[in-house]
Chains A and B, each alone.
Chain A
Amino acid sequence: MAEKLVIIGNGMAPGRMLEHLLEAAPGRYDITIFNAEPRVNYDRIMLSPVLSGEKSFEEIVIHGDGWYVANGITLYKGHRIVSIDREEKTVTSNHGVTERYDRLVVATGSVPFIIPVPGKDLPGVLSYRDLDDVDAMLVAAQSGQKAVVIGGGLLGLEAAAGLKQQGMEVTVLHVMPTLMERQLDPAAGYLLQRAVEARGIQVRTKANTRRIVGEKRVEGVELDDGTVIPATLVVMAVGIRPNVALAKEAGLAVNRGIVTDDRMITSDPDILAVGECAEVGGMVYGLVAPLYQMARVAAAVLAGGGDERFVHADTPTKLKVTGIDLYSLGDFADGDDREEIVLRDASAGVYKRLVLKGGRIIGTVLFGETADGAWFADLQKKQADISAMRDTLIFGQAYQGGASADPLAAVASLADDAEICGCNGICKGKIVSTITAKGLTTLDGVRAHTKASASCGTCTGLVEKLMTLTIGESYNPAAIQPMCTCTDLGHDEVRRLIKAKSLKTIPAVMQELEWKTSCGCSKCRPALNYYLVADWPDEYADDYQSRFVNERVHANIQRDGTYSVVPRMWGGMTNARELRAIADVVDKFAIPAVKVTGGQRIDMLGIKKEDLPAVWADLGKAGFVSGHAYAKGLRTVKTCVGTDWCRFGTQDSTGLGIRIEKFMWGSWTPAKVKMGVSGCPRNCAEATCKDVGVICVDSGYEIHFAGAAGLDIKGTEVLGLVKTEDEALEVIVALTQMYREQARYLERIYKWARRIGVAEIKRQVLDDLERRKAYFDRFVFSQTFAQVDPWSERVSGKDKHEFRPMAAIGVVKEAAE
Chain B
Amino acid sequence: MTGFHWHDIGTIDDIPPRGARCVATPQGKIGVFRTVDDRIYAIEDHCPHRGGPLSEGIVHGAAVTCPLHNWVFSLETGLAQGADEGAVKTIPVRVIDRRIALGLDLALMAAE
* A interface list, Cβ under 8 A from B: 38-40, 42, 57-58, 61, 64-65, 77-78, 517-522, 525-526, 544-549, 552-553, 557, 559-561, 801, 805-812, 814, 816-817
Contacts and interface: CB of A to CB of B under 8 A. Distances in A.
Contacts of B61: 517-519, 521
Contact of B83 (A57, A801, A808, A817): A57
A807 B16 CA distance: 15
User: What's the dominant secondary structure at chain B's contact region?
Assistant: mixed
Contacts of B23: 805-809
Given A40-B83, A58-B82, A58-B83, A526 B58 contact: yes
Contacts of B19: 545
Nearest to B104: A809
Interface string B56-83: 1111110001011010100000000011
B7 interface: yes
B60 A557 contact: no
B109 A810 contact: yes
Interface string B2-31: 000001111000111111011111100100
Contact of B72 (A522, A544, A814): A522
Size class of B's contact patch?
35 or more
B58 A809 contact: no
A631 B67 CA distance: 15
A65 B79 CA distance: 12
B95 interface: no
Given A517-B61, A525-B60, A809 B102 contact: yes
Contacts of A561: 51-53
B32 interface: yes
A810 B60 contact: no
A35 to B, nearest CB: 11
B93 interface: no
Contact of A812 (B25, B32, B52, B102): B25
A516 to B, nearest CB: 11
A815 to B, nearest CB: 10
B24 A809 contact: yes
A518 B36 contact: yes
A39 B85 contact: yes
B87 interface: no
B84 to A, nearest CB: 8
B30 to A, nearest CB: 8
A108 B68 CA distance: 34
B88 interface: no
A484 B99 CA distance: 36
Given A518-B36, A807-B9, A545 B29 contact: no
Contacts of B18: 519, 545-546
Nearest to B56: A549
A64 B82 CA distance: 7
A115 B67 CA distance: 41
A519 B60 contact: yes
B2 to A, nearest CB: 16
B51 A810 contact: no
Contacts of A546: 18, 58
Given A522-B70, A546-B58, A809-B7, A65 B82 contact: yes
Contacts of B59: 545
Interface core residue of A42, A57, A61, A807 (most chain B CB under 10 Å): A807
A809 B70 contact: no
Given A65-B83, A805-B22, A810-B104, 15 more contacts: A61-B82, A61-B83, A64-B83, A521-B65, A522-B57, A544-B16, A545-B16, A545-B59, A546-B18, A561-B51, A806-B23, A806-B32, A807-B8, A808-B25, A809-B102
A660 B99 CA distance: 50
Given A522-B70, A808-B25, A559 B17 contact: no
Interface of B: 7-10, 14-19, 21-26, 29, 32, 36-37, 50-53, 56-61, 65, 67-68, 70, 72, 82-83, 85, 102, 104, 106, 109
A560 B15 contact: no
B22 A522 contact: no
Nearest to B8: A807
Nearest to A806: B21
A557 B68 contact: yes
A448 to B, nearest CB: 18
Nearest to B17: A545
B8 to A, nearest CB: 8
Contacts of B52: 561
Contacts of A57: 83
A810 B25 contact: yes
Given A518-B36, A519-B36, A807-B9, A549 B57 contact: yes
A35 B12 CA distance: 43
Contact of A807 (B24, B36, B72, B106): B24
Nearest to B29: A805
B85 A77 contact: yes
Contacts of B85: 38-39, 77-78
A693 to B, nearest CB: 32
Q: Which 10 A-B pairs have the closest CB atoms?
A: A522-B65, A806-B21, A807-B9, A808-B24, A549-B67, A522-B58, A545-B18, A549-B56, A810-B26, A812-B24
A814 B83 contact: no
A812 B57 CA distance: 24
A529 to B, nearest CB: 10
Given A544-B16, A548-B67, A806-B10, A521 B83 contact: no
A64 B37 CA distance: 28
Contact of B15 (A65, A806, A812, A816): A806
Given A517-B60, A544-B16, A805 B21 contact: yes
A517 to B, nearest CB: 6
A801 B7 contact: no
A547 B50 CA distance: 21
Contacts of B36: 518-519
Contacts of B68: 557, 559
A26 B29 CA distance: 48
A664 B22 CA distance: 35
B5 to A, nearest CB: 9
Contact of A806 (B9, B50, B70): B9
A377 B81 CA distance: 43
Nearest to A507: B36
B1 to A, nearest CB: 17
A520 B72 CA distance: 13
A801 B14 contact: yes
Contacts of A801: 14-16, 21
Contacts of B14: 801, 806, 817
A136 B19 CA distance: 34
Nearest to B36: A519
Nearest to A526: B58
5 contacts: A39-B83, A519-B60, A520-B60, A561-B51, A810-B109
B16 A812 contact: no
A806 B22 contact: yes
Nearest to B50: A559
Contacts of A548: 58, 67
With most chain B CB atoms within 10 A of its CB, the pick from A559, A810, A817 is A810
B26 A811 contact: yes
Contact of B10 (A40, A552, A807, A810): A807
A42 B82 CA distance: 12
A365 B90 CA distance: 59
A561 B50 CA distance: 10
B56 A521 contact: no
Contacts of A517: 60-61
Contacts of B83: 39-40, 42, 57-58, 61, 64-65
